Chains A and B, each alone.
Chain A
Amino acid sequence: MNFLQVVFILTSAVTLGAAVMVVTSHRMIRAALWLVLALFGVAILFALLQAGFFAVVQVVVYIGAIAILVIFAVMLTRHAMQDEGAQVNRGWWAAVLVALGTFAGLAFLLLNWAGIGSSLGELSADEARKLIPQMGQALVSADAYVLPFEVASVLLLAALIGAIYIAREKNPQV
C-alpha cells in the first residue's frame, strides 16, 4: 500500500461521498456546492494519473464555469433556497435497478481488462513534456482528430445560439 494508493483511496472516498450528498441533499444550493467538491476530487484523480493538463482543465471548465452555471441555474428557479420537496419519485426502484446494472456491467468490463493488475509507471520528464504538444498536434492533424475538433466548434456555436435563443426575454428587439 504505497502513498499513491492511499491518496487515491482518500480522494475516491471524498468524491463518492460528495456525489452521494449531491443526490440526497435537501437544499439545491447545498447540492450544487457538494458538486463542486466532487468535481475537485475528479481533478485530483486526473493529477494522480499524471494527466496534468486534464486536471487543470477540469478545474477551469468544470469548477470555474459549469459549477457556477449550475449555481446560477439553481438560483433562477424560485424558492430554490427552501426546496423541501420529496427526494424520490415513484419510479425510484427502476432507477436503483438501472444504476446497479450499470455498475455491474462497468465492473465486469474493468475486471476483464488486461491491465487491471499492473501499476501505473511514472513518466520521465521528457515524455511528460511532450504530452501536450502531441495532443495539440493530434487535434489538428488531418489523419487524427481535426474533424472532431472542428465539429466541436460547431457544436459550441450551436449550444451558444440555442441557449441565447431560449434564455433571452421575449421583447420586440433585434
Chain B
Amino acid sequence: MLNEWLYIGLFILVAAALPGVAIFLAGILAPKKPNLLKDETYECGIETVGESWIQFRAQYYIYALVFLIFDVEAVFLYPWAVAFNALTLYAVLEGVLFILILVGGLIYAWRKGALEWI
C-alpha cells in the first residue's frame, strides 16, 4: 500500500513540475517590457478607484459553512457504505438515521433562508 502512496507522491511532484517548467520556459521566451501603465490593475480600462477591496457578503460564509457540515456528513457515510456487506438491516437504518438528522438541518437552513443567494 505504501507503494501506491509513493506513486501518488511522485505524481504530485510530476504534476506540479510539468506546468511549472512550461510556465518557466514561456517566461524565458516571452518579451518582458514592463511599463507603469501595463502593470496597473484592470478595471475595464479606467483607473482604479478606492482600495482593492469589496464588500464581502456573509452569504458566502454561510454557503461554506453548510457545505462543511454536509461534507463531514458524507465523509462519515463512506466507511458505512463500504462496509455494507457486513451490516445488518438495523445497522443500515442507523446510517439512515444519521442522514435524516442532517436532512432536518437542511430543512432548517432552507426555511431560515440560509440557502438564498441574495
Contact = CB atoms under 8 A, between A and B. Distances in A.
Complex A–B touching at CB under 8 A: yes
Interface of A: 4, 7, 44, 47-48, 50, 52-53, 55, 57, 60-61, 64-66, 68-69, 72-73, 75-76, 79, 81, 122-123, 125, 128, 132-137, 139-141, 146, 149-150, 152-154, 156-157, 159-161, 163-165, 167-169, 173-174
A163 B62 CA distance: 8
A33 B114 CA distance: 27
Contact of A154 (B58, B65, B91, B101): B101
What does DSSP make chain A's interface, helix, strand, loop or mixed?
Answer: helix
Contacts of B53: 79, 81
Interface of B: 1-2, 4-5, 8-9, 52-53, 56, 58, 60-62, 64-69, 71-73, 75-76, 78-87, 91-92, 94-95, 97-98, 101-102, 104-105, 108-109, 111-114
Contacts of B52: 81
A174 B34 CA distance: 54
Contacts of A165: 112
Contacts of B1: 50, 52, 122-123, 125, 128
A157 B2 contact: no
Contact of A174 (B58, B66, B112): B112
Contact of A150 (B64, B79, B94): B94
A132 B9 contact: no
A135 B102 contact: no
